[in-house]
């Protein structure tokens, strides 16, 4: 019987070595040089595969982020109220919705990634259709969040005039809300089969379209904040339809064979996996939003909130890189496990972690070097700049920790550990991090630095340590067998019961 691991490695063209080909302890310098050359070649090949996903992922995430930044800039030229209304609707209503649906769609990174590695290409299209159905139903249940945005914002303590206008903006964002249900699965479907360039190109086209229609709707037609919101809907649907058009028009001949009734089988189990994925990522996404809310309740918090917002903006921009590694690691690990290659998944994890840490160290040093300079990008207020300078050390360590944590979360997604990681996130973030932040900020009177330090070193560092230990202790050959078993069950939903 042929060795499945060797077969998978030949197909992947990665010269990873199995136990029969393992490198011996050599006694002379020539053999040691050969060993080093082989390792360097393996790292180079794996790095190319990794960056084939990471590069376009960073670009597409930045362009999507810029669509919202440009829209916010146009809203700002309409007036302070319009800017505040768009910002709060985008951050509170859409932010919650975005995080949940994006997390739920990450279930496809496990299933599509492993199915592609196992060469069960037909099932990728079926899995994507199941995700469309589950996310669309979820969108229907979330519509009241948009319809009743005004009373929700009133409960959160927003001024009446702002709550009313933000509620109107939220109503116009309902089409954007439904685009998430189709676009996120499409991205993961394409990403899992390494068709990342098309995602980057479609994102660029959407950004250019957005700039043009924003200028036309707002500057020329004077449609106000409603027109500003409409441009976001239009641009995101351009992106969604562009990816869909590529998929169904022959871009994925092996993985898209048309709509199938199989998509309606095993939906409840798909819901459970999607819910675990959504909860896992939402608990991470909400954590930093809670940091800002907690800081806003500190005495004399205006300067602290301004400084923290600047730091979070810098952190958010830099996070596009670790989040791209999150996606790439999930795909690489899932592909290797699906191919039955546990050693390949382990090696991909090592290369991804080390590469992301190296980038994190670069930005860590950059923040430490320019700790008293980068605040000038956003403000000229001396009190705010002084506070940013004080917070820069925490920002640097946050960036460093975030260079590891998303990669380990990507390993979890690629391996299908979402439900376990959701519990870990709940415990580390909300049972350790938040209480420690409250203790440092209020009981020990450390202010915003105490809140942030407690949440970072208590919550994020603990979560990173636990995920790191789980990854180090993982039996990758057993995970490959488990992936094979799970794929067989997902291919035959009756076996799930």
Q: Are 429 and 459 in contact (CB under 8 A)?
A: yes
Q: Tell me, what's the pLDDT at 302?
A: 65
| CB atoms closer than 10 angstroms to residue 169 | 25
Please, what is the angle between helix 174-192 and helix 29-76, to 10°? 170
Q: Tell me, what's the pLDDT at 90?
A: 77
What's the average pLDDT block by block, 10 residues per block, for the chain (497 residues)?
Answer: 41 41 47 71 90 90 82 77 77 80 85 89 92 94 92 81 87 92 94 90 93 86 82 92 94 91 85 83 77 68 74 82 90 91 92 94 94 81 87 92 90 87 89 91 85 89 93 92 79 54
DSSP 144-165: HHHHTHHHHHHHTT--HHHHHH
**Which own/partner pairs from 294-297 qualify as long-range (CB within 8 Å, at least 24 positions apart)?**
294/434, 294/437, 294/438, 294/441, 294/451, 295/441, 295/448, 295/451, 295/452
Nearest CA to 348 out of 23, 54, 55 is that of 54
pTM, two decimal places: 0.81
Q: Are 396 and 313 in contact (CB under 8 A)?
A: no
Q: Tell me, what's the pLDDT at 127?
A: 92
Q: Tell me, what's the pLDDT at 214?
A: 87
Q: Tell me, what's the pLDDT at 357?
A: 94
CA gap 1, 172 in Å, rounded: 60
Find the length of the chain. 497
Q: Are 172 and 226 in contact (CB under 8 A)?
A: yes
SS (H, E, C) 30-75: HHHHHHHHHHHHHHHHHHHHHHHHHHHHHHHHHHHHHHHHHHHHHH
CA gap 362, 378 in Å, rounded: 22
Which residue, chain included where needed, has tokens 């290797």?
336
């Amino acid at each position: 019987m042929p060795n499945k691991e060797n077969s998978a490695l030949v197909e992947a063209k990665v010269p990873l070595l199995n136990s029969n080909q393992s490198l011996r302890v050599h006694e002379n310098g020539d053999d040691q040089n050969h060993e080093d050359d082989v390792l360097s070649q393996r790292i180079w090949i794996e790095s190319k595969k990794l960056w084939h996903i990471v590069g376009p992922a960073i670009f597409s995430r930045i362009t999507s982020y810029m669509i919202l930044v440009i829209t916010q800039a146009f809203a700002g030229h309409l007036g302070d109220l319009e800017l505040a209304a768009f910002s709060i609707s985008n951050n509170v209503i859409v932010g919650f919705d975005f995080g949940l649906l994006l997390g739920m769609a990450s279930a496809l990174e496990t299933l599509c990634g492993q199915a592609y590695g196992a060469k069960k290409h037909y099932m990728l299209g079926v899995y994507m259709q199941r995700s469309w159905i589950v996310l669309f139903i979820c969108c229907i249940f979330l519509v009241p969040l948009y319809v009743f945005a005004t009373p929700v914002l009133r409960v959160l303590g927003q001024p009446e005039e702002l709550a009313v206008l933000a509620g109107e903006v939220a109503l116009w964002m309902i089409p954007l809300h439904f685009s998430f249900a189709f676009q996120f699965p499409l991205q993961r479907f394409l990403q899992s089969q390494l068709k990342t360039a098309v995602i980057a190109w479609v994102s660029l086209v959407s950004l250019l379209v957005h700039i043009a229609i924003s200028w036309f709707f707002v500057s020329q037609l004077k449609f106000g904040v409603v027109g500003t919101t409409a441009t976001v809907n239009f641009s995101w649907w351009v992106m969604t339809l562009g990816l869909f058009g590529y998929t169904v028009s022959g871009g994925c001949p092996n993985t898209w064979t048309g709509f199938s009734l199989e998509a309606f089988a095993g939906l409840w189990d798909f819901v459970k996996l999607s819910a675990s994925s959504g909860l896992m990522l939402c608990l991470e996404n909400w954590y930093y939003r809670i940091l800002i809310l907690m800081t806003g309740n500190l005495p004399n918090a205006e300067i602290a909130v301004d400084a923290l917002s600047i730091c979070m903006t810098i952190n958010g921009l830099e996070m596009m890189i670790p989040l791209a590694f999150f996606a790439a690691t999930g795909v690489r690990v899932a592909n290797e496990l699906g191919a039955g290659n546990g050693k390949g998944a382990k090696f991909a994890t090592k290369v991804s972690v080390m590469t992301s840490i190296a980038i994190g160290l670069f930005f860590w040093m950059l923040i430490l070097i320019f700790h008293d300079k980068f605040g000038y990008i956003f403000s000229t207020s001396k009190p705010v700049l002084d506070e940013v300078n004080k917070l820069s050390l925490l920002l640097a360590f946050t960036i460093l920790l975030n260079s590891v944590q998303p990669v380990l979360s990507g390993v979890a997604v690629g391996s299908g550990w979402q439900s376990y990681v959701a519990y870990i996130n709940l415990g580390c973030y909300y049972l350790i991090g938040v209480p420690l932040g409250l203790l440092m900020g209020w009981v020990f009177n450390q202010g915003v630095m105490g809140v942030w330090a407690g949440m970072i070193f208590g919550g994020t560092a603990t979560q990173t340590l636990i995920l790191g230990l789980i990854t180090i202790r993982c039996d990758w050959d057993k995970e490959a067998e488990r992936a094979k078993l799970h794929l067989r069950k997902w291919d035959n939903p009756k076996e799930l019961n």
